Chains A and B, each alone.
Chain A
């Protein structure tokens, strides 16, 4: 309802973005140490197709949590003001425009805006391009959402790059484990993916894991429409003809919502299961247009899948009070990155109100364990630079005018993550040795 009501209200995302940009401009180029603030560059999509589903919920959450941190309003262990007593100043940058532009923007943030750290990046292409520059410029950089396995395969000895979000391998290993547990009669699968690296990798991980965990299951169809195609008439017919028990899709944003809408109207999901690895991000949009029993994921224990604790309850209350809707998984993921940075800086600091240098921050961040709305986060992989967490999946139901999750199952980190130093796809192909699921 909130969404419908707000149709004719001035759009808040734009206002918020402009306000944050104004703050950024007003900040000028004074050195962080000089103005006594901790300056953080925040990079996320404010325009383009990824802005609505991911970028804006992230920017909103960042604004909410930074405001509250500066006022000391968060629950323990984050109830001290700012970062180590220093006020946090955010410089927000639009991630739209491609990797080359993002590298330029990153250099600007460091060299002209003099930021003390950078948090950002949804697109895997941007993460891969920015990480070497972060190492070169020696700026602590926290990647909060991009899922590519290649991030720490290409940058084998990271010092300044950290990722508090999970590797995309986790999504699909978790998805197959959920199906194996809840759909014992599943005999066939089909997939529909956007035709680029994300869609192709997701489908490969899903199919290979299925072959290992449920070797009798047949792949009866696969569709790779162009990204942002928006209309899936022929694909829906082809999937109907293939008659799979389960349809897997790594679609996101408008494409995902359109697929659900069109498939549901044409009865594609009658008597079969649709699984969406990014499904949680649109939980408030589907209303009664999605089939009850649709399996959705939130790319980790985020959004609707976050456990009940003081931090998650605070985030839900503060976010919905400010933005009139529930925070989704990208909101949780950026808050996790901000809190991880705060924990690392405060661990590295000699005394309150003092700012540790970049090397001390990165040393403290490496292998750090910190609390987040998604539970306890261990920076346990890729030499202590990559977070390790479990994942949850559940079924979407729309009842009494409200979207809810049922039959939620969580899989712990050691059950869905390859061991240190092992490539995710190699691990899956060798039968996921060493996975501990109990």
Chain B
């Protein structure tokens, strides 16, 4: 019973983290058809920005420790929007309409550039922002102890997921966005400002990546390479759920999260393989992913 509860809770925490990490990736792909390899770098930039601000707050600048949560959110928002708009404006805007494969190479180059830029700004020494992690205390049940911060992540990812759904399905701008997703050319013909839509979408996507990084920063040692590790996982989740679908990313995250937690508890030796096992299994049955739509290719 304890193991079952542990799998459920661990799986949910991990799934919520996976969803936060992959939401931005799937939003950008859904709207812009860009498979953004640089997404991991936005995660890393968010983590570094959050860790720097929290570090500064607790090293004598600050007062109320609970303000550090606002700092994490603020760091993600500023870092994500600034970097997102800058990259969209200076690079991607000049590339729209190119082949999807070319965009993978462009964003891969961007990943390499950003990884080095991060090292130039923050160096290779690790950063810590552990105070917000311990501040919320911990809770024990069924002989297990969990950090409240981790449980809080589940709430945050529910809010993010529901918020995205609300924007896409219940607002005017969201409807325009769905029109762009459905058929870019017709949307342009109908007078939708697709360029502006793209810029905003990209910035929202990068901000989601940065948010995931900033919220993860308190639990980890923020050091070079964290972004590259994340991108592989995010891709796995998005591919399982169906590229470009928010609901798919959520379903993919839950599936991967729970399976991995079950593997850790029941068969630790399979842990390394299990994520890719799930991915291969889903793709062999539904090559377009759980929620993906089969597309008719225009030739």
Residues of A in contact with B (beta carbons under 8 Å apart): 1, 3-5, 7-8, 11-14, 46-49, 51-53, 55-56, 195, 221-226, 228-231, 233-235, 237-238, 240-241, 253-255, 257-258, 261-262, 265-268, 285, 289
Contact = CB atoms under 8 A, between A and B. Distances in A.
Contacts of B163: none
Interface string B110-128: 0000000001111111111
B6 A223 contact: no
A195 B272 contact: yes
A47 B116 CA distance: 9
A214 B15 CA distance: 40
12 contacts: A3-B125, A4-B55, A48-B224, A52-B224, A53-B126, A224-B272, A225-B271, A228-B229, A233-B14, A235-B264, A254-B226, A255-B221
B150 to A, nearest CB: 6
Contacts of A257: 126, 128, 220-221
Contacts of B65: none
B144 A234 contact: no
B56 A241 contact: no
B212 to A, nearest CB: 12
B52 A265 contact: no
Contact of A261 (B121, B133, B265): B133
Interface string B186-203: 000000000000000000
Contact of A7 (B52, B146, B219): B52
B143 to A, nearest CB: 7
Given A49-B224, A233-B14, A261-B130, A13 B272 contact: no
Contacts of B138: 265-267
A265 B223 contact: no
Contacts of A14: 119-120, 123-124
A148 to B, nearest CB: 21
A248 to B, nearest CB: 15
A412 B7 CA distance: 44
A429 B261 CA distance: 34
A265 B126 CA distance: 19
A241 B2 contact: yes
List the 9 closest A-B pairs by CB distance, nearest first: A11-B123, A257-B221, A4-B59, A254-B221, A234-B10, A234-B264, A51-B124, A254-B223, A237-B6
Given A4-B55, A234-B265, A262-B219, A52 B145 contact: no
Given A237-B9, A238-B6, A266 B264 contact: no
B260 interface: yes
Given A11-B125, A46-B124, A51-B124, 17 more contacts: A3-B125, A8-B56, A11-B123, A49-B223, A52-B125, A222-B268, A223-B268, A223-B271, A230-B216, A230-B221, A233-B13, A234-B11, A237-B6, A237-B264, A240-B145, A261-B130, A289-B134
Nearest to B12: A233
Nearest to B128: A285
Nearest to A268: B145
B17 interface: yes
Contacts of A235: 264
Contacts of A195: 271-272
Interface of B: 2-3, 6-7, 9-11, 13-14, 17, 52, 55-56, 58-59, 119-128, 130, 133-134, 138, 140, 143-147, 149-150, 216, 219-226, 229, 260-261, 264-265, 268-269, 271-272
Chain A binding site: helix, strand, loop or mixed by DSSP? helix
Given A5-B59, A13-B124, A241-B3, A231 B220 contact: yes
A254 B6 contact: no
A437 B37 CA distance: 55
B268 A267 contact: no
A195 B144 CA distance: 25
Given A52-B126, A223-B268, A285-B128, A8 B145 contact: no
Contacts of A11: 121-125
B125 A258 contact: no
Nearest to A221: B268
A257 B121 CA distance: 22
A221 to B, nearest CB: 8
B128 A7 contact: no
A30 B184 CA distance: 61
Contacts of B56: 7-8
B124 A261 contact: no
A52 B226 CA distance: 13
Nearest to A265: B147
Given A266-B147, A289-B130, A261 B125 contact: no
B274 to A, nearest CB: 11
Nearest to A192: B268
Contacts of B119: 14, 47
